[in-house]
Amino acid sequence: MEAATMAWTAAVVGVGLVYWFVWVMGAAEVKGKRAVDLKMGSITRDKVQDKYTQYWSFFRRPKETATAAASAEKVPDFVDTFYNLVTDIYEWGWGQSFHFSPSLPGRSHREATRVHEERVVDLLGAKPGHRLLDVGCGVGGPMRAIAAHSGSNVVGITINDYQVNRARAHNRKAGLDSRCEVVCGNFLSMPFPDASFDGAYSIEATCHAPRLQDVYGEVFRVLKPGGLYVSYEWVTTSLYRAEDPDHVDCIQGIERGDALPGLRRQDEIASIAKEVGFEVLKEQDLALPPALPWWTRLKMGRIAYWRNSLVVRVLTMLRIAPKGVSEVHEMLFETAQHLTKGGETGIFTPMHMVLLRKPVATATEEAK
Ligand SMILES: C=C(CC[C@@H](C)[C@H]1CC[C@H]2C3=CC[C@H]4[C@H](C)[C@@H](O)CC[C@]4(C)[C@H]3CC[C@]12C)C(C)C
Ligand SMILES: C[S@@+](CC[C@H](N)C(=O)[O-])C[C@H]1O[C@@H](n2cnc3c(N)ncnc32)[C@H](O)[C@@H]1O
Q: What is the pLDDT of residues 22-34, one digit of tens each?
A: 444 444 444 567 7
Predicted pLDDT at 69 = 62
Tell whether ligand 1 has an atom less than 6 A from the beta carbon of residue 258: yes
Count Cα neighbours of 322 within 13 Å in the Cβ-side half-sphere.
22
Whether 83 lines ligand 2, by a CB cut-off of 6 Å, is yes
Split into its structural domains, the chain has a count of: 1
The verdict on residue 38 lying in a domain is yes
340 assigned to some structural domain = yes
Q: Is residue 231 part of a domain?
A: yes
**Which residues constitute the domain of residue 184?**
33-59+70-359
Q: Judging by DSSP bridges, how do beta strands 180-184 and 153-158 pair with one another? A: parallel
Q: Could you identify the atom of ligand 1 that is nearest to the CA of residue 259? A: 29
Strand partners, 154: 132, 180
- The answer to whether the bond into 290 is cis (omega within 30° of 0) is yes
The pTM (predicted TM-score) of the whole model is 0.91
Q: Distance between CA 159 and CA 96 in Å, rounded?
A: 17
| Res 14: pLDDT | 59
Report pLDDT for 142: 98
Q: Of 199, 114, 88, 205, which Cα lies nearest the Cα of 158?
A: 205
**Protein residue whose Cα sits closest to atom 6 of ligand 1:** 98
In a domain, 334, yes or no: yes
- Give dist(CA 191, CA 249) in Å, integer: 38
* Residue identifier of the C-alpha nearest atom 28 of ligand 1: 258
Ligand nearest to the CA of 97: 2
Residue at 15 is within a domain: no
Q: Please check whether residue 188 is in contact with residue 76, taking contact to mean a CB–CB distance below 8 angstroms.
A: yes
11 in a structural domain: no
Q: Which ligand is nearest to the CA of 231?
A: 2
Quote the pLDDT of residue 23: 47
Ligand with smallest separation from the Cα of 25: 1
> How far apart, in Å, do the first and last CA atoms of the chain sit?
95
Provide DSSP, 249-265. HHHHHHHHHTT-S-PEE
pLDDT at 67: 60
Which atom of ligand 2 is nearest the CA belonging to 203?
A: 6
Ligand 2 atom closest to Cα of residue 138: 27
Question: How close is the Cα of 16 to the center of ligand 1, in Å?
Answer: 29
> In angstroms, rounded to a whole number, what is the distance separating the alpha carbons of residues 66 and 263?
11
Q: Look at residue 118 and tell me if it is in a domain.
A: yes
Look at residue 47 in the predicted model and tell me its pLDDT: 79
Q: What is the CATH number of the domain that holds 46?
A: 3.40.50.150
Complex-level ipTM = 0.99
- Does residue 26 fall inside a structural domain? no
Cα–Cα dist 223/366, whole Å: 17
Residue in 195, 190, 191, 202 with CA at minimum distance from that of residue 225 = 195
Q: Is the CB of 205 under 6 A from ligand 2?
A: yes
For residue 22, report the distance from its CA to the centre of ligand 2, in Å: 29
The answer, yes or no, to whether any atom of ligand 1 lies below 6 A from the CB of 332, is: yes
pLDDT in tens, the chain (368 residues): 577 777 766 666 655 555 555 444 444 444 567 777 777 877 877 778 888 888 888 887 666 665 666 678 889 999 999 999 999 999 999 999 999 999 999 999 999 999 999 999 999 999 999 999 999 999 999 999 999 999 999 999 999 999 999 999 999 999 999 999 999 999 999 999 999 999 999 999 999 999 999 999 999 999 999 999 999 999 999 999 999 999 999 999 999 999 999 999 999 999 999 999 999 999 999 999 999 999 999 986 678 888 888 988 988 888 888 888 999 999 999 999 999 999 999 999 999 999 999 999 755 555 55
